[in-house]
């Protein structure tokens, strides 16, 4: 039986859900936050130690300013309203991505939240923010070259944002779209991928548990013949 340590999720379809149900993409994002809360609870219930959520990509800056502002406000209120709860529930918050483009008050809030929760051990919640996998890999290679180290797999792992985090066992992408969108390209080499038709706000506990159960019964060979 497979064991699961790490679930990664591309939470796609908020905008389409919002337009269809409430006539506003932003209300789709707000609804998506409820699914985030459900998934955090379920991840803990299933004793999975790492959850990585793609919350804002390097490409998301190309969206209209008003939508970007809404997403940043949502992130800010999520942190302000939930940091006590995350800490109390022994959850460690970690950001992967380059934060320099974010407003200073959000950078500060993220730094404080990471600092405050860094000793927590029940679940590590990784938020991918201004994250792009190609950026991450190039950044790692530049850092290795700067230190004049040899470029190899172990060294590259060491300089990625995800150092110390096991590679995802499963990736779930909602929103009826079959692509990786520059998310964890290196780390997903052997990950089992689930493309789900539902939009993120409609993704339920049962859908999540179905992905977990399906993974647990899959045969993973990592390229070996058995």
CB of 85 to ligand FPP, least distance (A): 13
Active-site annotation holds for 12: yes
The nearer residue to ligand FPP, 25 or 162, going by C-beta atoms, is 25
Return phi, psi of residue 102, to 5°.
-85, 150
Helix, strand, or coil (residue 3)? coil
Closest residue (Cβ) to ligand FPP?
Answer: 15
Active-site annotation holds for 84: no
Residues that bind ligand FPP in the complex, under the rule CB under 6 A: 11-16, 29, 32-33, 36, 53, 55, 60, 71, 74-75, 78, 127, 175, 200
Which residues are within 8 A (CB) of 103 and not within 5 positions of it... i.e. 6 or more apart?
Answer: 72
The nearer residue to ligand FPP, 15 or 97, going by C-beta atoms, is 15
The nearer residue to ligand FPP, 33 or 48, going by C-beta atoms, is 33
CB of 29 to ligand FPP, least distance (A): 5
Q: Among 40, 30, 31, 34, which residue's Cα sits nearest to residue 9?
A: 40
Q: Give the integer Cα–Cα distance in Å for 50 and 40.
A: 10
CB of 159 to ligand FPP, least distance (A): 25
CB 125 within 8 A of CB 94: yes
Catalytic residue, candidates 21, 46, 60, 98: 60
The nearer residue to ligand FPP, 126 or 191, going by C-beta atoms, is 126
Which residues are within 8 A (CB) of 51 and not within 5 positions of it... i.e. 6 or more apart?
Answer: 6, 7, 8, 9, 39, 40, 43, 123, 124, 125, 126
Residues assigned a catalytic role? 12, 60
């Amino acid at each position: 039986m497979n064991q699961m340590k790490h679930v990664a999720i591309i939470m796609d379809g908020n905008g389409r859900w919002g337009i269809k149900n409430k006539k506003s993409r932003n209300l789709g994002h707000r609804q998506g936050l409820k699914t985030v809360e459900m998934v955090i609870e379920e991840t803990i219930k299933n004793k999975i130690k790492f959850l990585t959520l793609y919350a804002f990509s390097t490409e998301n800056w190309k969206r209209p300013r008003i939508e970007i502002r809404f997403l940043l406000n949502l992130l800010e209120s999520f942190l302000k309203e939930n940091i006590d709860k995350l800490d109390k529930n022994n959850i460690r918050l970690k950001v992967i991505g380059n934060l320099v483009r974010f407003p200073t008050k959000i950078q500060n809030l993220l730094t404080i939240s990471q600092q405050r929760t860094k000793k927590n051990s029940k679940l590590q919640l990784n938020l991918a923010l201004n994250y792009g996998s190609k950026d991450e890999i190039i950044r790692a290679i530049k850092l290795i070259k700067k230190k004049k180290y040899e470029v190899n797999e172990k060294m590259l792992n060491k300089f990625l944002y995800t150092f110390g985090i096991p590679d995802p066992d499963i990736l779930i992408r909602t929103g009826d779209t079959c692509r990786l969108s520059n998310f964890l390209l290196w780390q997903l080499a052997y990950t089992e991928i689930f493309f789900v038709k539902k939009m993120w706000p409609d993704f339920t506990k049962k859908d999540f548990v179905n992905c977990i159960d399906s993974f647990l019964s899959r045969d993973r060979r990592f390229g070996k013949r058995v």
